Structure 1
Amino acid sequence: MQYEEAVRYISSLRRFGMKPGLDRMRRILSNLGHPEEGLWFYHVAGTNGKGSVCAMLAAMLKALGYRTGLYTSPGLGGFNGRVVIDGLPIPEPSFADHVEAVRRASSPSDPPTEFEVLTAVALLAFRSAGVERVVWETGLGGRLDATNVVVPRVTAITNVSYDHVEILGPTLVDIAREKAGIVKPGVPVVTACADGAYRVIGRTAAERGSRLVRVGRDVQFTPTSSSFWLRGAYRGLFRDAPCVRLGLRGEHQAQNAAVSLAMVELGEGRLSEANWERALKALEGVRWPLRCEVFRVRGRLAVIDGAHNEEGARALARTLRRLGKALGASGWHMVFGAFADKDVRGMLAQMLPLARDVLVLRSPHPRGADPESLAEAAREIRPDLSIRVMPSVEAAVQEALEHPEPIVIWGNLYMAELARNTIIALGAEEWQ
């Protein structure tokens, strides 16, 4: 099987949609000889922040000298970009070989989903490459997520907010219960959840005899715009870390960093002073595409962020307010696209107070929302704004660049990635 053939095969599975459950995944792994066995997993779930936590974890574990695998969803640069070893996507020929193996291990009468194939491919790739640590991000939920076929050394649930309610349930308690499904008996769990969601996770951890570490209580942090102070306050395991610099922008990244540091200390035990310093230093160099990336292109700033739910939009708005104030900008030219099943009005309510005008478009994905409906929702919130529908991501980016003020391109990750590629092709450079 060639890479292009592997991509066509995986893409063909989208017609089956989502099929929650673990039985099919377990049968595939059994037919593959259980590639998950013997791997050391850090399993991360949550509504927002799990991708950033995973990026930080992978950077720290690599800095500690481990051959590190990272599995995320979605990944940048195609399907094989979701499966990364020591910072590099697995080669296309290897990816295709693993896809062929998974296809042969699957039942034609009960075909796997796209996500199940990619999850099995990641496990094959990590086993064959001799990976020593695996950073393992859930796709959706936790309890019935295809990634939940492994036994990790540490789990984390970053936070819980409203997203995928049609699948995970209508309340935060329902969503928390699904995400808490990754908690395994005797395996420690780190969480930054609050209130009702925290109580659900706490009960689950108690029932399964799992040590529970709560960020904000057992691990405390004080954020600034680009660094944070960490205070360990739990049985002497977690240590203090003053003025830790972060490569990822936004005060919310301090909480994500605290989660990732707690996971490392639980998973690896108390580190030597030299290794602790290596782990902290690694956080400074972390970059995670589509998470509040800032570029300079044609003399203006462009922020790109895959904020695709209300809480993500709220965090992005906080960062834009500070950045806009520092730039002396009176508002942002916005480019926006979303999936049809998202709370578009909740997202726009967070961001539109910062807008000068808005360009909306259809996300380049079958689930992309009709841009006319996006425009209608935006006009209901800000009838004073100029809100226009654009035919494509490329056209929206070119139009936004006609104005001298800063630009923010946000919403669905597929749209944000295409916009990122577009501005990079126009000569954009990362802005520090």
Structure 2
Amino acid sequence: MNYEQTMKYLENLSKFGINLGMARIKRLLELMQHPERRFKTIHVTGTNGKGSTTAMLASILTASGIKNGMYTSPHLTDYPERMVVNGKEMSKEEFAQAITYTSQFVEQMLSDGFEQPTEFEVITAAAFYYFAAIGVEYAVIEVGLGGLLDSTNVIIPEVSVITNVTLEHTDRCGSTIADVARHKAGIIKDGVPVVTAAKGEALDIIKRTAAEKGSRLYAKEEHFYSRFVGFENGKQRVAIDAGAFGRVETELNLIGCHQVENSAVAATAALVLAAGEHRITIKAIKSALAIVRWPGRFEIFPGAPVIIIDGAHNPDGARVLRQNLDQVFPGRKITFALGILRDKDVSGIIRELIRPEDAVVTVQPLSYRAATPEEIAREIEASHVEAAASIDGGIDRAEELAGAEGVVCVAGSLYLIGEARQIILRSRQM
């Protein structure tokens, strides 16, 4: 299949939706002779920050001279963004080849009477094949949903990472923090160290699971710490204390108070790994954090007005985004271009993000699950609220309302952010 044919193949698979379970991916990888066993891995889950933390860890491996893969989801613009080697996204031709290769084993499964694998399972298997074929030494693997029953949970990593735990995917992971925490803790493997910034009840569950598995646990505020030092040259400076593993004070290229915590998780996980992988050094960690990029997460586009895009798609992510806006742009008028999926906690996101003095233009993300602009607008109480007919029109209108001295923030869904990012890059010729 070429790339266009591959897109049609995946589109056909998407109709099977999300179907958690391990039987299909295990059978598929067995038929492929277990490509996931041909390299070492770091496994990352969490409610928020798992993508940023995954990117930081991959950047640290690259700075350490270690050939590595990074698997993330969802993509912002194109599927190949999900598979990166040493910071370089795979080509569309490579993506098509990996999916084509994997599809023959899918057909074998079906002919043997097995249930149809989902789109995410096929892409995950293709990622493992691609990383093995290209010869990576390590791969940093981000969980798709939850952890326990996620397709990525077939790996036995060198380190497991759980960034944090708040309510999400309650239809699949349970309606309480404890339920969600059990899903996240499901990535913990026997004897494999765990690094987490989880707190409260979630941390208690992670601790119990780690103890049951005989896995050494490193918890933020107990075994490692971080603090914001200040802004310098458009970056924030952070100080990380990883206890016996060492201390790191460095520039961090990703902006926001939540990234101070994420960088501490990533640095500590890397230092745990460094106990047996001597190419990883504090010098490499510092240089990696100073240059790491993670598009679409508090990404700043300078201009008049300045534009921020952030994929905050749950109340906790919205709360952190608001904190960051207040910290980085104190006293500035905020105008939102806001689009949210109907199956998310719409009222919770709005409550955490929007204030009475804000202006809001609602837009519709590119997803069949998206709430309409009118539906979102009815939920909002702000100084100015209007619904836009398109994403580009909504961004233009938000810029008009903000004025040259204001700040535009595009937020609410990763399905919105990818399209918005392309619009902004074109309009500002970046």
Deviation at 1:272, TM superposition (A): 6.3
SS in 2 for 1:287: coil
| TM-score (normalizing by structure 1) | 0.93
RMSD: 1.6
- Write the deviation string for residues 65-85 of structure 1: whole angstroms up to 9, x where unpaired: 011100000123311110111
Match of 1:348 in 2: 350
> Would you say the 8 A contact 2:60–2:280 is kept in 1?
no
- Write the deviation string for residues 102-136 of structure 1: whole angstroms up to 9, x where unpaired: 21111335221111111011101100100011010
1:137 aligns to 2:138 (yes or no): no
Match of 2:272 in 1: 266
Q: Distance in 2 between matches of 1:392 and 1:32?
A: 43
SS in 2 for 1:245: strand
Deviation at 1:386, TM superposition (A): 1.8
Out of 245, 267, 280, which is 2:251 matched to?
245
Shift of the 410–223 alpha-carbon distance from structure 1 to 2, 3 Å rule, reads same
- Write the deviation string for residues 125-184 of structure 1: whole angstroms up to 9, x where unpaired: 100100011010000000000000111010011000011111100000000001110000
1:293 aligns to 2:294 (yes or no): no
Match of 1:357 in 2: 359
Q: Distance in 1 between matches of 2:276 and 2:250?
A: 18
- Name the amino acid aligned to 1:229: A
Match of 1:72 in 2: 72
SS in 2 for 1:335: strand
- Name the amino acid aligned to 1:13: L
- Name the amino acid aligned to 1:333: T
Match of 1:81 in 2: 81
Which aligned pairs between 1:158-197 and structure 2 lie closer than 5 A? 158-197=163-202
Match of 1:420 in 2: 421
| Structure 2: runs of 5+ lacking an equivalent | 231-235
Q: What is the aligned-residue identity percentage?
A: 36
> Would you say the 8 A contact 1:333–1:355 is kept in 2?
no
Task: Work out the number of aligned pairs and report it.
Answer: 417
Which aligned pairs between 1:378-389 and structure 2 lie closer than 5 A? 378=380, 382=381, 384-389=382-387
- Write the deviation string for residues 234-269 of structure 1: whole angstroms up to 9, x where unpaired: xx2x1122x321000011111111111111112221
Match of 2:238 in 1: 228
Match of 2:45 in 1: 45
- Name the amino acid aligned to 1:291: R
Deviation at 1:428, TM superposition (A): 5.4
- Name the amino acid aligned to 1:311: D
Match of 1:411 in 2: 412
Match of 1:279 in 2: 285
Out of 399, 402, 409, which is 2:400 matched to?
402
> Would you say the 8 A contact 1:219–1:262 is kept in 2?
yes
Out of 319, 322, 326, which is 1:317 matched to?
322
- Write the deviation string for residues 366-387 of structure 1: whole angstroms up to 9, x where unpaired: 1112222211111xxx2x5221
> Would you say the 8 A contact 2:64–2:279 is kept in 1?
no
Which aligned pairs between 1:123-134 and structure 2 lie closer than 5 A? 123-134=128-139
| TM-score (normalizing by structure 2) | 0.94
> Would you say the 8 A contact 1:232–1:239 is kept in 2?
yes
SS in 2 for 1:163: coil
- Name the amino acid aligned to 1:228: V
> Would you say the 8 A contact 2:274–2:280 is kept in 1?
no
- Name the amino acid aligned to 1:112: P
Match of 1:336 in 2: 338
Q: Distance in 2 between matches of 1:89 and 1:221?
A: 31
Match of 2:233 in 1: none
- Write the deviation string for residues 172-199 of structure 1: whole angstroms up to 9, x where unpaired: 0000001110000010011110010000
Displacement over 4 Å in runs of 4+: 270-274
- Name the amino acid aligned to 1:406: V
| Structure 1: runs of 5+ lacking an equivalent | none
